[in-house]
Amino acid sequence: MSDPMRPRASLRTAVVWDVLKDALDRRVKATGQGPDGAADGGVGGHGAPGGLDVLDTGGGSGNFAVPVARLGHRVTVVDPSPNALFALERRAAEAGVADRVRGVQGDVHGLFDVVERGGYDAVLCHGVLEYVDDPAEGMRNVVSALRPAGVVSLLAAGLGGAVLARALAGHFSEAHRALDDPAGRWGEGDPVPRRFTAEQLTELVQGAGLRVGAVHGVRVFADLVPGVLVDTEPGALEALIKLEAAAAELSAFHSVATQLHVLGETPGAAEATAAPAADEA
């Protein structure tokens, strides 16, 4: 079972993982490039090189990179932390995918000091734009790393979830401050430098030249439900995971999600994905 789908971790990652895996599967089918380099139209086993080239910016210790590599893809992780990259190396070795995971030290602003421009079929940008000085520039760099037919998985902190969490904790002034603050921060002690609405993220994606393929709310309920209930009530975890999945695509819940996930596609990727369907028709 891949890391994002461990039961407790899946509350935070299942929605993103499902969308990402589906996007990678569609890219494989569009290119006809299987994990062993054969034109088999699908993602398969664990042993041979091949598959897609995936870049994970800010990928840390490999929460997504290692499971993506286990699908048969090659993953390059760019992260500023040497400790995170060391943990990534160990994790990839333990999962048996060390030959398909490469870690390099760097960040999204200096991305092309350490990786190739235009060399990737997919780019993961998870938990990065909150921390950069210029999110639009960071997003442009992410897109510049893509091949003509590529996809971007963008995950960032949501404004509404933070406001709701502060209000439910009784910190009403902080909740109000987050609403009024241009960066969505609730105070000097806020550890997150910037939060976004779904509209702001989709504007960043479109402004960088991508088509918005999907928008999902992540952790709509998970951060609000008492942990003791999830851990002790029989069936509660599974039911909550299903509820999160059901609510994720509904725009009404995007405004209260702790995180927001946007899938962006280059025009070439959208055309390549549509082509097989048109041929079949």
More confident residue, 48 or 185: 185
- In the chain, the percentage of residues whose pLDDT exceeds 70 is 86
Torsion sign (Cα): 179, 245, 67, 72 = negative
pLDDT at 74: 97
Separation CA 139–CA 203 (nearest Å): 11
Residues 30, 60: contact at Cβ < 8 Å?
A: no
In this prediction, residue 38 has a pLDDT band, given cuts at 50, 70 and 90, of very low
In this prediction, residue 31 has a pLDDT band, given cuts at 50, 70 and 90, of confident
Segment 119-135 shows an average pLDDT of: 96
Residues 111, 77: contact at Cβ < 8 Å?
A: no
Flag the least confident range among 9-13, 62-66, 139-143, 194-198. Answer: 9-13
Residue 92 has pLDDT above 70, yes or no: yes
CB-CB neighbours of 101 under 10 Å:
26
pLDDT at 12: 78
Output the CA–CA distances (angstroms, integers) from residue 8 to 12, 64, 230, in the order listed: 8, 15, 9
Flag the least confident range among 40-54, 194-208, 218-232. Answer: 40-54
Separation CA 161–CA 12 (nearest Å): 14
> Across all residues in the chain, what is the average pLDDT?
87
In this prediction, residue 44 has a pLDDT band, given cuts at 50, 70 and 90, of very low
Q: Which among 187, 189, 191 has a CA at the least distance from the CA of 176?
A: 187
pLDDT at 35: 56
Separation CA 60–CA 37 (nearest Å): 28
Q: Which among 134, 223, 127, 219 has a CA at the least distance from the CA of 183?
A: 134
pLDDT at 236: 86
pLDDT at 11: 74
The answer as to CATH 3.30.70.380 being correct for domain 3-158+196-280 is: no
pLDDT at 235: 86
Output the CA–CA distances (angstroms, integers) from residue 80 to 13, 84, 144, 201, in the order listed: 22, 8, 20, 23
Segment 95-110 shows an average pLDDT of: 95
Separation CA 50–CA 52 (nearest Å): 7
- Residue ranges covered by each domain of the chain: 3-158+196-280, 159-191
Q: What is the pLDDT of residues 219-278, one digit of tens each?
A: 999 888 887 777 788 888 889 999 999 999 999 999 999 999 999 999 876 666 555 444
Separation CA 3–CA 234 (nearest Å): 23
